[in-house]
Amino acid sequence: MEFAVYNTQGKETGKKVKLEKEVFGIEPNEHAVYLDVKQFMANKRQGTHKAKARADVSYSTRKIKRQKGTGTARAGSLRSPIFVGGGTAFGPEPRDYGFKVNKKVKRLARKSALSTKAQAKNLKVLEDFQLDAPKTSSFVDILKGLELSGTKTLFVANGENENLILSSRNVPKTKVVSVDSLNTYDIMNAAVLIICEGALDKINEVLK
């Protein structure tokens, strides 16, 4: 599978790169993608929800009425969930929502996501470039050249390109990541995937 290499003005450079079939041309495994995305979203949950149980409510512990002879049910504490202001029964407690996904499944999920983008032609290869300074207008010009203004786009940079990351921070619907930070959720969440030419070898090295 060959893809043309574009420059930052959105024009073809005349070069072509061959995408590895083992990474960009596999049959997508939807269940692996589901598991990886589910784990990513679960790990983002704080899990700090908490309701006051009867032990957490500030009330006196005295017995509110005698045990027998009142004609109503016995009651020993105002902290009981049946009283107004009492503790919550079976309320939420702080917890960790994370769960384990095997490394091989996560690798398969990323390859499936990349293959999905490649097969749908929602992937572009961009020649390596460097921004001299963190400047949002420079990054916006690149998006205009690629005809991606207003499109949800994921840039995969070649290494830690700090100026590129800083230039893209205030641009909506756009995210820049390095190969080490590339994950299935970001790939699937983007409408178009832009991979810098130098990042392809690293992706193949990590996922092949």
Residue 70 one-letter amino acid? T
Q: Which residues contact 146 (CB under 8 A, 6 or more apart)?
A: 6, 10, 124, 126, 194
Cβ atoms of 97 and 42 closer than 8 Å: yes
In the prediction, which pLDDT does 205 show?
Answer: 87
Cβ atoms of 176 and 168 closer than 8 Å: yes
Q: Which residues contact 117 (CB under 8 A, 6 or more apart)?
A: 123, 187, 192, 193
pLDDT in tens, the chain (208 residues): 788 899 988 888 888 898 899 999 999 999 999 999 999 999 999 999 999 999 999 988 889 899 999 999 998 899 999 999 999 999 999 999 999 999 999 999 999 999 999 999 999 999 988 888 899 999 999 999 999 988 999 999 987 778 888 899 999 999 999 998 999 999 999 999 999 988 998 998 888 7
- What domains sit in the chain, N to C, each tagged with a CATH number? 2-45+98-207 (3.40.1370.10), 47-96 (no CATH)
Helix, strand, or coil (residue 204): helix
- Pairwise CA distance, residues 174 & 159, whole Å: 18
In the prediction, which pLDDT does 192 show?
Answer: 95
